[in-house]
Amino acid sequence: MWIQLTDANGQPLAMNTEHVVTVQAYGERTKITHVGGQSVVSESVALVLTALGLLPLEQTAEHEQCHKLHS
């Protein structure tokens, strides 16, 4: 699926959602790492995750205790 976002210069940016690797807060913007590199977009992390059909992770102590990583 393709989504349209806005790059840091205000220009439209089309992105194939199957190529997205990570979505991170980047100051007031969002940094998206994809198989072709990285893009900084004007949309918020929450809006990008919604466009990708994902829900933000809850960052609470209770959540972290229940979902520990293997060591």
Residues in the chain: 71
Question: What's the pLDDT score for residue 25?
Answer: 95
Question: What's the pLDDT score for residue 31?
Answer: 97
Question: What's the pLDDT score for residue 54?
Answer: 87
Question: What's the pLDDT score for residue 67?
Answer: 53
| pLDDT tens digits, 51-67 | 998 877 665 555 555 55
**21-28, long-range: CB < 8 A, 24+ apart:** 23/48, 23/49, 23/52
Higher pLDDT, 6 or 63: 6
Start-to-end C-alpha separation, the chain: 35
Query: Which residue in 30, 27, 65 sits closest to 50, CA to CA?
Result: 30
| Structural domain boundaries in the chain | 2-66
For 7, which DSSP code? B
71 pLDDT tier (thresholds 50, 70, 90): very low
